[in-house]
Every structure is written in C-alpha cells, then in structure tokens.
Structure 1
Amino acid sequence: MKFLRQTYESFRFAWQALRSNLLRTTLSLLGVTIGIFAIIAVFTIVDSLERNIKESLSGIGDKVLYVQKWPWVFDGNFQWWKYFQRPEPSLSEFKFLSERLETAQAVVAMDFKGQVTVKNGNNSIDALIQGTTMDYNKISDVPVEQGRYFSQQEIDAARNVSIVGADIAETLFPGQNPVGREFKLNGLKYVVIGVQERKGESLLNFGGNPDNKCLIPIGAFAKMYHSVYPSIDIAVKGFDQDEGLLELESEIRGLMRARRGLKPLQEDNFALNRPDAAAKAISGLFAVLTVAGWVIGSFSILVGGFGIANIMFVSVKERTNLIGIQKSLGAKNYVILFQFLFEAVFLSLIGGGVGILLVYLLSFIKLGSLVIILSPANILLGLGVSSIIGTVSGILPALVAARMDPVIAIRSK
C-alpha cells in the first residue's frame, strides 16, 4: 500500500513538473511527435494500400489459375519477343479443359471490351463489357442485389441478357427498377436480368470496376467481337485441399500441352498466371516502404530521445535541492527514480499521442479511391514506441537523481 501511494506521488510530481515548464515541454515533444508521425503514417498508408489491393485482387478470384498468352511478370525482365508468337487461348480449348479437368471445381471463359457505349433512350454511359460463362460467380464475387444470376439455358443459347453494375443501372434507368428493362449495346437490345451491389472503385481495379461493368454470356460477346479478335482468358478455380494449386497446375499444363501438340522438350506456349503472385510482388514493395518508414522515423525519434534526455538532465539540475529535501525526509531512491522516469515517459507519450493524432487527421484526406484507416494495432505500436523512447531517454537522468547524496543535494543552489 505504501509503495502504491509513493508511486502515485511520483506520478503527481512528474505531472506538476511538466505543467510548470510548458514551453520546454512542448519543444521537447517535437522530435518524438515527428518521428511517431512518420512511422505510423507510413504504416497506416501501407496497411491501407495492402487492404485496398487485396480487395482488388478478390475481383480476379482466390485459388484461381489463369490460362493466358502473356505471363504476369513483376521483376522487370519481360521478354515480350518470346511470347509474341504464342497462340491465343480459344473457346475450343476452354471446352476441352472444362470436359477433362478433374482437380478443378470451376472452369470459366471470359473476354473484355472497354469503353463501349450502352444506351437507353437519351441516357448513355461508357461501360466495360465482359463476356463470361456460367461459373463466373464461382471464381469472382458477383453480389446480385436486384434480379438474378444467369441461367444455364441463357449461357448455352447466347441470349442477349445482362447483369449490370450499379453505375450503369442508375445512369440508364434513373429512379426505375432496371430488372426486365431493355438497353442497347452495339446496336442490339439486351435485357437486364440482374443488378450488382455497389462496390466502389478500388485502387488497381483488377478485372475492372464492377459498378461500371456489364456481364453478358460469352456466346453473345463472341458474336459481336470475336470475328476480329477471337481470343479469351480461361480461369480455373481449384479445391481448397489442393495446397498451392500444384495438382491443378500440373493437370492444366499436361492437358494444354496435349491439346496443342507440344513435344516433351518444347517449352509451354501458354502462361499459367496466379493472382497470389501479384500479391507477393506487391507485398515485397510494401516491405521496402515499411523499412523506409522506420528509417525516416528513427532519425526523428533519435533526435527526440536526445532532446528528452537533455531536458531531464536540466530538470534534475534544477531540482537538486528539492531532491535532497525529499531524501532527508525519508523518500526512497525508487521514489526519486520514478519521478523523473515518469516525467520522461509522459513527455514521450504526449509527443507520440500528438503524432498519432496527426495521422488520424490525415485519414480524413481523400486520396482518390484509397481509403486511409488508422488501425488499433498502429495506435498501440505508436504508444509502445513512445513509451520505450521515454524510458530509454529518462533512465539515466533518473538514476543520477536517485543516487544523489541528500546532504550534498540540500547544499546545492
């Protein structure tokens, strides 16, 4: 009980010392404030970028392999001349894979056409047209808010039906229920059978902005566009128990090589692309940014730590006489130690708190589609780093104060 009372008194002394020297306290905070702001701001922006990009990647599917002509290359060593002569994946290859793959739960063919004007009367909007097959909703999230998804008969018969994004629905059919209504695409009438929930534009828009996307059967898409450029992307979704999709990749590679008549020593003339490869490449960039944040912030924190230590030594010098009086009245060494240590930690915590507050205010700034969110983990990290800096900066001055001889201290002026 006595220990707790004396500890509380140490807290009170430390707080009074800070209040009595507001200007000095404020100047001491600046280094820690700038350092914590730099570190937590970088961490917060990196976390927000990572979250936004992962949401973008969800648009191209989880546990999915893409069979395409061009590989996804992230190291800058893109040998385009090597891939230029490759044939494009075709609808016949999609059917071949969908009939024979045993380690896949869904095989989808898709193709895209951007900046296509869709109309309803005087209302029009430029949309991304995506032709797809029945199982597209198994590899990518298609949250239908109004209406329904495609039926197998509509896909097989290549009917002129469409699932539209929220922006298209609001522009073409303002104040109306779009389901069952017609619009014109490439001079042809299409019927809206579903409207997707509004998702908002993501940072990278992998797979296109769903709010501005018009899904139609791949057969209907092919009738309009494949006479000029008959190519598709093939997406294959694996099972959860297939760790790393190694079985699926091996089976796709074997079937595609057989279909294209490749000899054993010939290289693949197709690419098997993974969304998780993009995620890993981006994670490497985030790691570099994180290290940069630590380096930048560490210099400011180091300066702030020296500033706090310097102020604490000055504070010890000013209160030497008071320390002597306290010790002569029976104050233990740890009571004196705690007074100055708490004062240093308070200084650092206040500086760190101001830095975190600045990051929080930064989160209100609009940066396009990037939403900045200050997470509890980053707040705790900032306060933790501040506490450590305060402890390290204040321990030496506190030890000097605690070890003073009371007689010598009382005689000092």
Structure 2
Amino acid sequence: MRFGIFLKLMGESIRFAIQVLTTNLLRTTLSLLGVTIGIMLIISVFTMVDSLEKNIRDSLDFLGSNVVTVDKFPFGTGPDPNYPWWKYFRRPNNSYSEFEFLQANLKNAAAITIVGQASTTARYGSSSLGGTDLWGMTYQYKDVYEVDIAQGRYFTQQEIEGGRNVAIIGDEIAQTLFPNESAIGKDIKVRGFKVRVIGIMTKEGESFIGTPSSDDRIYIPYKMFNKMYYIGSRWGINPSLAVKGFEDDIGMVELQNEMEGLLRKVRGLRPKEESNFALNRPEAIAEALGGIFDVLGLAGWVIGGFAILVGGFGIMNIMFVSVQERTKLIGIQKSLGAKNYFILFQFLFESVFLCLFGGAIGVFIVFLLTFIPFGTLEVTLSVKNILLGVVVSSIIGVVSGIIPSAKAARLDPVEAMRAG
C-alpha cells in the first residue's frame, strides 16, 4: 500500500514538474541554469582531478610499488641544506657485493635487484639509434619492477648468472632498427658488443608527465653490463639497489629498519657514525601529490558551490510560484482526504526532479567534454563522479523544495479553495 502511494506521488510529481518545464520554459531554464552550471563545474573539476591523478600515477608506475631504493641522498626533501653537499657526493656507490649480502640476509624482502644504467647507441646493419637507455639487471628485476614483454621471452637464470650476450629491447628500438622484419633472434651492436635479441617489450608510448619509458630501453644481464662499463668506485657508474617489500609491511617500516642495519654492517659503520646512504620509497612521490589533488577538489566545491547556491534559490522560487498556482488544487486534494505528508512529498519530489534534470544536463556536458583531446592527458568521466552529480542534485532539490513544500502541506483546505 505504501509503495503504491509512493509511486503515485512520484508519478504526479514528475507530471507537474514536466508541466512546469513546458509552461514557463524561459523562467525554468534560467532557474535550472545555476544548478546545471554548478554541477557541471563540480563534476568537471573532479573529473579533471581524477584524470590528472590517474595519469600521473600511471606515469610513475615505473617506480614500482612497495619498493625501497638505496641512494646517496633522500628523494622526499632532497639534500639537507644544513648538511655539507659534498658529503653526499663522497658517499660510496652501491656495489654488487652489497647486493649479494642483502640478497642473502634480508628477511623482510620479497625480491631484490641491482641495476646499472647508461646511455648508448644501438646498431643493426646500417641502421642506428642514439640516446637509448642501456640497463644491466639481475634475474629478480622482473619481481621488483614490471617487465611487460610483447614478443619473445624474459632472461633465464643461467643467462643472467653467466652474463650472456642477450637483450630485451623496447618497441621504439625494434621499430627503428627492424622496420620490416622481426627483431627476435637478431644480433644488435651495443658498445662494440654483439647481443642477441630475445624479447621485445610492449609499447608504452609517451607518458603524461614525460617520465622514462621502456620504448627506448635495452635490458641486458648485469654481468654483461659490467663488461661494458666501469662500475663500483666513486668515479664509475653508480648502480641502483632496489628492494621490494611484502604487502603486509605498511610503509615498508620493517624492511627499511632491516636494510638500515644490514647496510651499516656491510659498510663497516660504527654505532655513532652517521649513515652514508639514504633509503627512499619512490612511490612516496606519487603519494605526496595527493595533497595537491585534495586542494584542487576543494576549489571545485567552492567554485561550483556558488553556482549551485544561485540555482538553489532559483528552484525555490519556482516551487513557491508552483504552490501559489496550484493552491486551489491543493485545497481540492485535501478535501478529498489527502494527508499533509502527501502534499509535502508531492512538491518535494517535484523539486528534486527539477534539480536532477538540471544536474543531468551538467553531467552530460562534462561527458561531452571528455571527447575533447587534451594531448597525452586521458580524461574519463567515472561512475563515482556521475553518482556524485546525482547525489548533489538530489540534496539541492531537497534543500530548495523543503520550505515551499512545507508551506503547501500546511494550507487549510477551505482557505486554499477560496484562494484559488
């Protein structure tokens, strides 16, 4: 029974709302404009913020998750201005022996790798590509960072340990050096060494903030990389040590504490000596951006809120006019036994419907805006933001319609019929 009354209320409210929309089109349009603009501004800001956050986080995927790296100075704040800058540069480079020590002794690590990096030129026949990134790595690199291979395969343990002349290349290198043939099984020249291509990585394309891409990268075994470059001393290439922690180690606290102790031990530091290394969580860079996105979201609420406030007063004005125009009808409904709550909800549903109509137009405009190209920024309207528009519109409808609806519900049936 109650459900039937509810459906009746909804039906009548929608019918009256459509009547209001069609009878006083200009007045209604101007009143709904504030709601439409307000919802459009709020949803568009949140859509852009969400899209920016997603694109930036996707661009920083190469940093890995739950990863701790060993570096000469901290990432978060950069070198301490009160700390002698030259001490950072005098800190020792990471070494392969330290990698082996950590690999053998770390209990809170899921995987560990050491990576050497250098810029070089790749050649095949008469073709060449300069500025390619050559990375020497250990077998567990794939467990610390993602390696998405489109063709071929990853290194075997034997190839890594033996420092074999094999390589996995990026899509751009494959397309440049092998435009009309498959690169798998072919030999390319790097630093005067021949290396056989065993895999091609999936094309990544240009990221939103221009972060490094695997498209112009060559992966080779670390021991092979060691044959090509001088590594280890202060003046040689400083390899990167990266350790992946377990998911249940929140903030990688246990892992960092263990790494701190082991690194101090392997580097022979006394208890009172300061550490000559820094432990960094690269993903913390992405997490720090969250505060910026929160501020942008707040700005969206403030800007859109003013427009919605104007729109809310417009809807309230429509509802007062609607109550005045239908005073006699209200009197007739009450004389036939309509309860106060029936009249109240009838007008309240009408107000909500009008706001939902205006909000739907605003959300639809934002949806159309997502088809506009923004360069490398991919803009997507999420279901969460659509629901946000519906909820905000409904709240504005309730707030704008509650006073006119209460006024209609309190009308005396005899006086209402006389007034009509």
Are positions 1:111 and 2:116 aligned together? yes
Q: CA deviation at 1:122?
A: 4.8
Q: Which residue of 1 is the match for residue 274 of structure 2?
A: 267
- Distance of 1:363 and 1:263 partners within structure 2: 59
Q: Residue 43 in 1 paired to residue 46 in 2?
A: yes
CA-CA distance at 1:146 after TM superposition:
1.5
2:227 maps to which residue? Answer: 223
Residues 244 and 176 (structure 1 numbering): CA distance in 2 closer, same or farther, change over 3 Å?
same
Q: Which residue of 2 aligns with 1:150?
A: 155
Q: Against the structure 1 CA distance between its residues 300 and 5, is the aligned structure 2 distance closer, same or farther, given a 3 Å change threshold?
A: closer
**How far is 1:328 from its partner?**
4.5
The one of 289, 299, 318 equivalent to 1:292 is 299
Please state how far the C-alpha of 1:204 moved relative to its aligned partner.
Answer: 4.3
Report if the CA contact (8 A) 1:306-1:393 is conserved.
Answer: yes
How do 1:148-297 and structure 2 match up within 5 A? 148-204=153-209, 208-226=212-230, 229-297=236-304
How far does residue 74 in structure 1 lie from its aligned partner after superposition? 4.8
Match in the other structure for 1:356: 363
SS of 1:28's partner is: helix
What TM-score, normalized by structure 1, do the two folds share?
A: 0.89
What CA distance in whole angstroms lies between the structure 2 residues aligned with 1:131 and 1:5? 69
Unaligned runs of 5+ in 1: none
Deviation at 1:394, TM superposition (A): 0.8
Whether the 8 Å CA contact 2:20–2:28 is kept in 1: the answer is: no
Cα separation, 2, equivalents of 1:371 and 1:186: 38
> What is the aligned counterpart of 2:124 among 120, 129, 133?
120
Does the Cα contact within 8 Å between 2:116 and 2:135 map onto a contact in 1? yes
Letter in 2 for 1:107: I
Structure 2 distance, partners of 1:230, 1:20, is 77
Q: Would the aligned equivalents of 1:90 and 1:230 in 2 still touch at CA under 8 Å?
A: no
Distance 1:187 1:251, change over 3 A: same
* Identity percentage of aligned residues: 54
Instruction: Give the count of matched residue pairs.
Output: 411
CA distance in 2, matches of 1:313, 1:336: 14
Map of 1:330-409 to 2, 5 A cutoff? 330-409=337-416
Partner amino acid, structure 2, of 1:226: Y
User: How far did residue 253 of structure 1 move?
Assistant: 1.0
65 and 76 in structure 1: CA distance in 2 versus 1, 3 angstrom threshold: closer
Corresponding residue number in structure 1 for 2:5: 3
In 2, the alpha carbon distance for the partners of 1:402 and 1:76 equals: 69
Change over 3 Å in CA distance of 1:160–1:357 after alignment to 2: same
Do the aligned partners of 1:14 and 1:340 also contact (CA within 8 Å) in 2? no
The alpha-carbon deviation at position 209 of structure 1 amounts to: 0.8
Deviation at 1:78, TM superposition (A): 6.1
Change (3 A) 1:5 1:134: closer
The TM-score normalised by the length of structure 2 is: 0.88
Deviation per CA, 1:161-214, whole angstroms, max 9, x where unpaired? 2111222222221242211112233444322110122334433465x2122322
Which amino acid letter does the alignment assign opposite residue 250 of structure 1?
N
Residues 287-338 of structure 1, C-alpha deviations (whole Å, 9 max, x = no match)? 2222222222222212211121122223323333443444445544334333
The offset of 1:131, in angstroms, is 1.9
State the Cα deviation string for residues 223-259 of structure 1 (Å, max 9, x = none): 3343663211101123345444333222211121122
Q: In 1, Cα distance between the equivalents of 2:141 and 2:67?
A: 11
**Runs of 5+ consecutive residues of structure 2 not aligned to the other structure:** none
Aligned match of 1:20 in 11, 16, 23?
Answer: 23
Partner residue of 2:146 out of 141, 150, 156: 141
Partners of 2:317 and 2:256 in 1: how far apart? 62
Contact 2:352 2:394 survives alignment (8 Å):
yes
Q: Relative to 1, partners in 2 of residues 1:171 and 1:398: Cα closer, same or farther, differing over 3 Å?
A: same
